[in-house]
Structure 1
């Protein structure tokens, strides 16, 4: 049964400036900034929240179905998805737009200057699920995308009775209080980091207890401190899996959410879902880029047992 992954698809162009921005930006001239950086190191990665979640879910053995909107330049990404065996039947192409893309320049102090072009993502609200809903899907996630698309997909999935995780992520500032309250009401589960959880409470006017009462479960990640899953009156502490190296945290949240979906698809207990999700985040942080890590089932099972002193369920 396919799991529906609603969200962005994007190209990430990462450049490394072999110096420090502060050496080239005059503090008293920032109002008339005109600088150029030579970047000898560059890579282009496949990204976007839907693409990242789908990639990680496929690694685990799930069957993701992406719902997203892309542009005329999507060809290499489409081939990448085809090579992975990820269905593209619900990806809409806008021939008059470019695929969303981020251009990120990092200096030697890990400071970043980012430019983001949303492109076709801004038309994602026209890619409706209503009337095109896979009848055999039981699980879905609505991840960051255009605001109207996220609202529409949540409403469509709610009407279809598909169990849905709402993951507002970096799109959270787009929501006003009324829209956010409605979005949470249409979802079954909410997954956020600790900062976003505070932002959700501030924007909705709901305290943590009220927020929990609106959901079947609330998942809050705390970075290297692990995560916490609130289900009913229960609070489940999930330890952070130990990475072999800390290289690139970008996309760790997407990997984590793929782990949740994989466990939920298989009706595993929340504690197990959280541990699978935690280990997925550890795999991701060890590799630069959001879709460049790999593992076999045996390797994953071994690291799961090493980290959590229990056997990974089949």
Structure 2
């Protein structure tokens, strides 16, 4: 059973400014802002929603297929995917473009200034769900606007259940478009802020949205998550992380657990707990793809935190 992951592939360039932004930005002069920050510490991480979700799903023993568009600079990422054994059949190179890039500068107060260049993501509609075979589940995660609309429609037309994960792409859509995407999906997952935005844009309550899908999942960070399904609300706790290092990619790790539980046909409590565990484990390492666990280790950690066994 293969899971088709439609979404972004990106490089995250993270820089640390060894001071506080507020000391160097004059509030009364922001109309002529011109500042430069010396960043002696810099690292580059492999990221993007599709890349992060696929990485985590493979840790769980799933069979992810990545569908994404990338640029001329993708070679190092392609080599990484080869080393990890992740298929690249549905990753399309768009000549003359860059792979998606996030440039993040953080100060000592953990404030961030981020610039994001979508690059090849704007061509995601060049990929088609019809080109992927033996797919029994999918996810439409943040990507190019046209691509997200197209891939959701293609999943629906082929009766392939999929998760709609609008994420930071939500502002690209009108309320009517979001409602149509929700109705095409089998599952919807958002964080608490996105849940409020989804309600505001569609004019629907969470219950009304949940009634349109098999499950509506709302993540709450350290407070766990809520799963609205089968007319019930399941409260899912978050295991206390061993360390809090970097929240980048925690949501993607959670979604991988969600996809794995759905593919396995688990109940919502077990599925949600696995998803929550994946997010909690990810926060203990930098970047979205640097945590490493065997399936046995993950199963042991699940039993340790939740007192029951799972077979991954």
Normalising by structure 2, we get a TM-score of 0.98
- Is the Cα–Cα contact under 8 Å of residues 18 and 107 in structure 2 kept in the other structure? yes
Measure, in 1, the Cα distance between the counterparts of 2:207 and 2:279: 27
The count of residues paired between Structure 1 and Structure 2 equals 312
Measure, in 1, the Cα distance between the counterparts of 2:296 and 2:59: 12
Which residue in the other structure is 2:128 paired with?
Answer: 128
Which residue in the other structure is 2:16 paired with?
Answer: 16
1:206-225 correspondence to structure 2 within 5 Å: 206-225=204-223
Give 1:35 deviation, angstroms. Answer: 1.4
1:253 is paired with a residue whose SS is helix
Measure, in 2, the Cα distance between the counterparts of 1:23 and 1:42: 21
Deviations 1:255-285 (A, max 9, x none): 0000011111111111111111001001110
Give 1:79 deviation, angstroms. Answer: 0.6
1:138 is paired with a residue whose SS is strand
Give 1:202 deviation, angstroms. Answer: 1.2
- Is the Cα–Cα contact under 8 Å of residues 53 and 252 in structure 2 kept in the other structure? yes
2:218 is paired with a residue whose SS is strand
1:180-195 correspondence to structure 2 within 5 Å: 180-195=178-193
Which residue in the other structure is 2:229 paired with?
Answer: 231
Which residue in the other structure is 2:197 paired with?
Answer: 199
Which residue in the other structure is 1:70 paired with?
Answer: 70
Equivalent residue in structure 2 for 1:274, among 272, 275, 300: 272
Measure, in 1, the Cα distance between the counterparts of 2:8 and 2:107: 27
Deviations 1:112-141 (A, max 9, x none): 1111111111111122223x131x111111
Which residue in the other structure is 1:95 paired with?
Answer: 95
Measure, in 1, the Cα distance between the counterparts of 2:300 and 2:145: 40
- Is the Cα–Cα contact under 8 Å of residues 90 and 132 in structure 2 kept in the other structure? no
Give 1:156 deviation, angstroms. Answer: 0.2
- Is the Cα–Cα contact under 8 Å of residues 241 and 307 in structure 1 kept in the other structure? yes
What is the aligned-residue RMSD (CA, Å)?
Answer: 1.0
- Is the Cα–Cα contact under 8 Å of residues 17 and 37 in structure 1 kept in the other structure? yes
1:271 is paired with a residue whose SS is helix
Which residue in the other structure is 1:161 paired with?
Answer: 159
2:114 is paired with a residue whose SS is strand
Measure, in 2, the Cα distance between the counterparts of 1:133 and 1:306: 38
Which residue in the other structure is 2:115 paired with?
Answer: 115
Give 1:28 deviation, angstroms. Answer: 2.1
Measure, in 2, the Cα distance between the counterparts of 1:265 and 1:128: 22
Deviations 1:146-185 (A, max 9, x none): 1111010000011111110000001011110111111111
Normalising by structure 1, we get a TM-score of 0.97
Measure, in 2, the Cα distance between the counterparts of 1:28 and 1:236: 48
Structure 2: 5+ residue stretches without partners: none
Deviations 1:213-267 (A, max 9, x none): 1101111111111111111212111111121011111111100000011111111
Give 1:44 deviation, angstroms. Answer: 0.2
Which residue in the other structure is 1:45 paired with?
Answer: 45
Structure 1: 5+ residue stretches without partners: none
Structure 1 runs of 4+ aligned residues shifted over 6 Å read: none
Measure, in 2, the Cα distance between the counterparts of 1:306 and 1:54: 25
Measure, in 2, the Cα distance between the counterparts of 1:90 and 1:196: 29
Give 1:84 deviation, angstroms. Answer: 0.8
- Is the Cα–Cα contact under 8 Å of residues 246 and 285 in structure 1 kept in the other structure? yes
Equivalent residue in structure 2 for 1:251, among 243, 249, 252: 249
